Structure 1
Amino acid sequence: MSERLLATAAAFAGGIAACAVFAILALLLWLGLPLWRDPALLISLAGSSWNPAAGEIGLASMAAGTLLLAASALLLAYPCGLLLALSTLGLAPRPLAAAMRTLLALLSGIPTVVYAFVSVWLLVPWLRDSLGLGMGYSWLAAALTLGVMLTPTVALLLSGALSPTFTRLQAAGDALGLSRVQLLLWVVLPAERRALLSALLLSSGRAVGDTLIALMVSGNAIWLPANPTEPLRTLTAHIAITLAADTQSQAYAAIYAASLLLLAYVALVHFLTASLSDESAHRH
């Protein structure tokens, strides 16, 4: 009886969440009607020029900046997170692994704004004054900050994904004479390729959706940077900046398109992750 009640409650919560997503989508489409009805503005959205006074509201450079920042942050966070996850499962001694799990849980709960403030006070001046890399506020500074912030989350995701398989195969590994390291590297990781990819996709959704680090550290210049020391602007930062200063113009209307782009990416990540999870469950 209790299992049926829990299943019903889970289905009800899932239904409410789905309705909320569709309601958000409908609201964005409705509020953006003036934009969707103007072919010139719709064409302008695909451009890279941002000059609302001239009717240019291109989002291409900001969409590219979003993907560049997310990808570069994941280049740091995913390998480090995987190494930390493997350490908590068996690469590190047991006392150290337990301490690492506690520390990762604490770090993952720190608000994003704290990471951004630390970066503004320490990383940005170091890049600017010590290394001479431009003004400090840049794609590089934002990527390093976002990568550090994502690392504990990636580590916990991977640890949760790999732990059941590692526990299930540990007795067989002991019988074959495999060490914990050999079992993790030679058996568990190859067996959980889909889980590794799912964790990467989920982490990319978190990276794309971050606002405060991109807003406070990236420099917010509306162009496509030629190198990591130059500033960029992401879609999330653009939405925050526009909402803070405008609620009537074409520039404000463009944030609905930016929001739909972000929602489309999150939906794609969810679809791919669900597909990988279904394939993995069917395989097992």
Structure 2
Amino acid sequence: MLEEGAVERDRVLGVGLATPGPIDHARGLVLDPPHLTTWHDVPLRDEVARRTGLPTLLDKDVLAVAAAILWFPASGRPTDAAVVYAGTGVAIGIISGGEIVRGVSGNAGEAGHVSVGRAFGRCVCGREGCLGGVFSANAILANAVERGIGLGAGATDVRASETVRADRAVDGLRALAEAGDLAVVPFLHETGSALGSALATVCELLDLDTVVPSGPVWDRLGPWLEPGLRSVLDTYAMPGHHPLRVLGAAGDGPVAAVGAACLMLDDALTPRPTGLLLRV
């Protein structure tokens, strides 16, 4: 990559890795992500550092996206925001007071079982109304099929992996939405409003004023999901009487990869009070 980009190695701070959770942030392990079924306690951070000879950091994909949002002026650099990352699964990262909230183990943001306040899509846990049963790529595929929306043979090909089928389904929905399909457009509006219900709850709980949707699902379906999302957020009465604004994620290319690079910038260049403490 450095050779192709004509980048001198001594200008590189290191490697940032963004992976699905859960992870062991302190030890740099990828523990057991639901959609990476053969990955268990993989020492990804240390192995990449060993093979590249470069300092390496590991973080969850949604928290890497939050890092990108804080580093890019085009995002508006919100200080208090809920950051959605929708791909094979769905997660919500939190920015509070201009800082990324990581939690005690570095796994803040797991949002699959946040309630959307309605019976909409069955989650893998068996309940209806979980965000993961509505807004992940796999859930969107299942819900679309249940409603009789035809997505083509590629989206239902049993020979392909679940992830590949879901990816094809998202592309199929986009094509149908662009054509103005009378079943798909209201389906995506309702899916967006379900996300809005979950985010309104999170924003009320943590007193946030900004929502930043991102990820492969949003990148392709955002124009049809956003009206439903805004229909909830624009009418939600926050306790502080402040509006909830929706911003776009910043950076060119896959935002999680951009965010992974920002992790190194954040680690190297962001001043922190703990770094000013005298150690005795």
| TM bracket (short chain) | under 0.3
**More strand by proportion, 1 or 2?**
2
**More helix by proportion, 1 or 2?**
1
Bigger radius of gyration: 1
Structure with the bigger RCO (C-alpha within 8 Å, sep 6+) is 1
TM-score normalised to the size of structure 1? 0.27
TM-score normalised to the size of structure 2? 0.28
